[in-house]
Amino acid sequence: MSTIAFLGTGLMGSGFVCRLLDQGHHLRVWNRNPARAQALQAKGAKAFADAAAAVAGAERIHLSLADDASVDAVLEPLAGSIGAAVTIVDHTTTAPTPTRGRTERWRARGRRFVHAPVFMAPSNAHEGTGLMLLSGDPQLCDALEPALQAMTGQVIRLGDAPERAAAFKLFGNLTLIGLAGVLGDVTRLAQACGIAPADAVGLFAHFNPGSVLPARAAKIAAGPYEPPSFEISMARKDVRLMIEEAAAHGFPLAVMPAVAAVYDAAIARGEGHLDSLAAFRPR
């Protein structure tokens, strides 16, 4: 089995470490908070107070950190400590532009770096279930994919450009975070209507908006926007009702005013007759 260094042993990183230990790998772990790394020694990992010591002798290095700045802050001091035969796999959610630059920088050093962000909870990381995104040099990805497949339920290849996985990870998170904002407005409107939020969200046991998400997303991206199934002007009316009702009872909505502004701009362009999804299309 492989000797693997794992840098960043928070909730997600710890889950991955336990998964890799269960598979029989030798894990060398480091975290900025040493106690988090040391806690994994009871599972069979070897904790290090210094990242350079953790990567010494490792065949593969995995990272699960906070952001672009933390990835660079941890990796850059290790440039002279990582051998040419070592592959660096970064699971951190990062932005596409710095991810591309990071990949190019390590390639120029003669080192192998790949970005593989995930759609997982910590429990999924431990169980090996969920989605892992992968893009970059096809030969490197081909060689690495079996090991990554063993860490997760599904590896999704997204092309040769090293920043594509980062972009797709943000697409997914934008959707999840955006939906949370909309659901927050649902609970605020419920309170304005004198309905318990828990009762209001019970609607979704019967009405599943997620079932139409793929078709609606495709229509936003590429149309057609005529004939409409629900006109922009009528959608704007419904949004007005939501905003006014909530505000009248002291529960101002957070997300719907921004949606109203998008509809207003479309109507000002003379598009009120188009399908409501046309207001959100790429321009």
pLDDT at 209: 96
| Domain spans, the chain | 3-160, 168-280
Per-residue pLDDT of 192-247, as tens digits, reads 999 999 999 999 999 999 999 999 999 999 999 999 999 999 999 999 999 999 99
Q: What CATH class has 3-160? A: alpha beta
- Residue 44 phi/psi, 5-degree rounding, is 115, 0
Predicted pLDDT of residue 1: 82
**Beta carbons of 31 and 10 less than 8 angstroms apart:** yes
Cα–Cα nearest to 117, from 139, 94, 140, 136: 94
At 166 the pLDDT is 98
Over range 269-277, report the average pLDDT: 98
pLDDT at 280: 98
pLDDT at position 45: 98
Q: What share of the chain is helix, strand, coil (3-state, %, to 5)?
A: 55, 15, 30
- Which helix (H) or strand (E) element contains residue 123? helix 122-127
Query: pLDDT tens digits for 135-189?
Result: 999 999 999 999 999 999 899 999 999 999 999 999 999 999 999 999 999 999 9
What's the CATH number of domain 168-280, 2.60.120.380, 1.10.10.10, 1.10.1040.10, 1.10.3720.10?
1.10.1040.10
Query: Is pLDDT at 283 greater than 90 in this prediction?
Result: no
- Who has greater pLDDT, 1 or 8? 8
Tokens of 210: 């997620």
Q: For 69-115, what is each residue's pLDDT tens digit?
A: 999 999 999 999 999 999 999 999 999 999 999 999 999 999 999 99
pLDDT at 180: 98
Q: What is the pLDDT of residues 6-43, one digit of tens each?
A: 999 999 999 999 999 999 999 999 999 999 999 999 99
Mean pLDDT of the chain: 97
- Report pLDDT for 76: 98
What average pLDDT does the segment 62-67 reach? 98
> Is 168-280 in the same CATH topology as 3-160?
no
User: Cα separation of 188 and 184, whole Å?
Assistant: 6
